[in-house]
Structure formats: structure tokens, C-alpha cells
Amino acid sequence: MLSLLSLFKQKDMQKQEGKHESAQSFNQQNQSKTVKQRGGSSNNKLSVQLEQISKDYHYLSDILIENPKSVTGFSHMDHLVLTPYGIFVIDVKDYKGNLFGTKKERTWTINGKINVMNPFVQVDNHIQALKNVLSVNEENPFISLVCFSNRCKLKIDEALREVSCNEVAIYEGNLEETINRKIHIARVKQEQQTLTQNDLTTIYKTVVRANITDPAIRQKHNDSIDTA
């Protein structure tokens, strides 16, 4: 089985072996924080779905890591799901109205009046930050999922609705189903898993270590987004 462990930073991993349980506890605390801080009921619904996924997978919520290329200096990810067939980077959008946009456009519009950044551009920035943290150069392990509330009507490229692609726009109620379908497709296409269980544990610990929990820094990041 092909392992990607050689792609990850070797940051004193021996010292981290005893921290897996605390990382799990931290993850659970983060999940409850996410519901309160970002997306309200949308993130609550997603968290319930994520709790139903296979025990062979890891998931993290409300992750903030450094990103020198970002305007704020950080990247915030609503949810990450780590599976043997890829890393799902999930962004939650609580838009209301008709959303128009194409894959290539940097700016999309709500009801033809309100401009918003193409969410897949945002997720790609998050992935680049993750790659820096994990020292991964290849694109293969990452899948971008953008979840929209049912109050939003997607008037976007049909290609972005295709579950077979690595950039997929979905409604919030379809998250668990989409992840399972993506993994099923990957199993059919691939003879080997992309990531081993050792890889997943290493990635999990590395992201937990890189996650910024300082309330002052998080508030500064949020303030910077509001004024951007």
C-alpha cells in the first residue's frame, strides 16, 4: 500500500504519540464551538452528519491555520474530513437567494446584486495553506466541498454539481451522502488507497497542532474579514 507519510513534516512526532486522546477531546470541543460561531443551524446539521461517517475517518471543525498569502494572514476551515481516499475540505455558506457564478469567475452574485467571492477560490486558498502545514505538493488528496443552505438556489456551472469532480457544490442535507459517494467512486477507480491509517493519524495530529485557538487571534481574523 502506497504511503504518503514521507510527504509530511517530521516535527518531533515521538512527543505527540501520547496526545491522540487529547486531540480527540479537542476535536469534540471544537465541534460545539463551530455551531455557535459559524453558520448556526447549518453547521449543526453538518456536524450531525459528520458524526455518522465511518469510524475509519477523522474529522475536525473550526480550524484556523496560518496563511501568509491570505489578506488576514490566516485560513479558516469549517470542517475537514480525513479519509483513506482523500481529504475533504468543507466550506459552509449560509446564503439566501439565487446564486449565480461559473467555475472560472472569481466573483459570483446573489440575486444579481450582491457580489461574493467564488467559494471555490476561497477553498483553494485553504488547501494551499493546508499543503504548507502538511508539506504536501500534490493535489490528489484534496477534495473541495461547498455546502449551501436550502435557502440558496444554485444557478451555477453544472460541472460544479458533478459528484465525480474534486470541486463540488452541494446542499447541506447531502453532505454525508456526497462524501460516501465520492469514496465509493474512488474505491472503484483506484487499486490502492491514497492515504493509510498511519497517514491519517499523522495528518490529524499535525492539523490539531497547527490549529490556532487563541481567542484574541481568532477575533482579529474575524475583524479583518469584516473590514476587508
pLDDT per position as a tens digit, 162-193: 998 999 999 999 999 999 999 999 888 876 78
DSSP string covering 156-210: E-GGGG-TTSSEEEEEGGGHHHHHHHHHHHHHHH-SS-SS-HHHHHHHHHHHHHH
Residue with more model confidence, 43 or 25: 43
| H or E element, residue 33 | helix 20-37
pLDDT per position as a tens digit, 39-76: 555 666 787 778 878 777 999 999 999 999 898 999 99
In the chain, pLDDT over 70 holds for what percent of residues?
A: 77
Q: What pLDDT is attached to residue 189? A: 85
Length of the chain, in residues: 228
Q: What pLDDT is attached to residue 11? A: 43
Quote the DSSP letter at residue 115.
E
d(CA 59, CA 82): 6
d(CA 205, CA 221): 23
Q: What pLDDT is attached to residue 137? A: 67
